[in-house]
Amino acid sequence: MIDTKKYFYLSSSNIYPNLILERPWWLNSMYLRNDDSNVIFVPRDFRIGKFYFRDVPLDHHVNPFEYIYIHTEKVEWGYLCALLNSPTYIKRLFGKKVRPYSMQRMTEEILLNIPLFKANEDIQNELTVIESIILSLRFGQNIPEEHKRVLSYIISVFEDVREAYILEMENTFMFSLWGISIRKYWNKMVLRVCTGDMEEDVYALFEELTQPSSVLMNNIKRLKLYASLNKI
């Protein structure tokens, strides 16, 4: 039984196409070019580990036969992408036994039936930052040459942070018992390292995360061990 105080669902009005509404106002080309459009999309033919929920790029042509579009004022677009792109939610979308790189069919019904965690504005903003980093690394055009060779590893480190953050968010009591903190050490690191130039800050954060002394990554390593033993 889903606790509706902790989770919410998308409605038909949040998704296009659907059987009820014609093309919604939020797919107007002028609105999509607005930085605050809050619209994300996903391919219907969805290969795990290759395709992702993401913001709609400026050169995108709306095609409801190939993509599903989502717009909601309930949460930040980056927070919604962070949830739906995480391994935890991928298993909720397609089943616990879903295999990496397998091809799945994304449908409106699947998206309407996935419970999404309710988070406060601060948590949404923090996860939006993490997800924006991951998406910028995946789809950005300005990756420095010295980082291209290890780009997959850089992305995987931030994905580990995202997954740990989401697990802590949904299992705060268990994390307190384990003495593991993710959000606290992520925010401390951001305050210490970031300058406001995200293109530069991404790599500074990565360097910090990969230090042997990184408290955050050591917590994530402990989490992976405890999570495997407790099957969360």
Contact present, 56 and 101 (Cβ < 8 Å): no
* Whether the predicted pLDDT of 232 surpasses 90: no
pLDDT range class, residue 1, cuts 50, 70, 90 = low
- Please indicate, yes or no, whether the overall pTM of this predicted structure exceeds 0.75: yes
* Whether the predicted pLDDT of 30 surpasses 90: no
Neighbours of 89 (CB within 10 A): 20
| Nearest CA among 148, 129, 136, 138 for reference residue 187 | 129
Q: Which residue has the tokens 């998308």?
A: 10
Question: In this predicted structure, which of 19-23, 45-49, 200-204 has the lowest mean pLDDT?
Answer: 19-23
User: Which positions ≥6 away from 136 have C-beta within 8 Å?
Assistant: 198, 202
Distance (Å, rounded) from C-alpha 211 to C-alpha 223? 18
* Whether the predicted pLDDT of 184 surpasses 90: yes
Is the model more confident about 165 or about 229? Answer: 165
| Nearest CA among 217, 81, 76 for reference residue 156 | 217
**Residue ranges covered by each domain of the chain:** 7-117, 121-230
157: left (phi over 0), alpha (psi -120 to 50) or beta: alpha
Average pLDDT over residues 53-73: 94
**Per-residue pLDDT tens for 78-104?**
999 999 999 999 999 999 999 999 999
User: Which positions ≥6 away from 87 have C-beta within 8 Å?
Assistant: 163
Report the percent of the chain where pLDDT is more than 70. Answer: 99
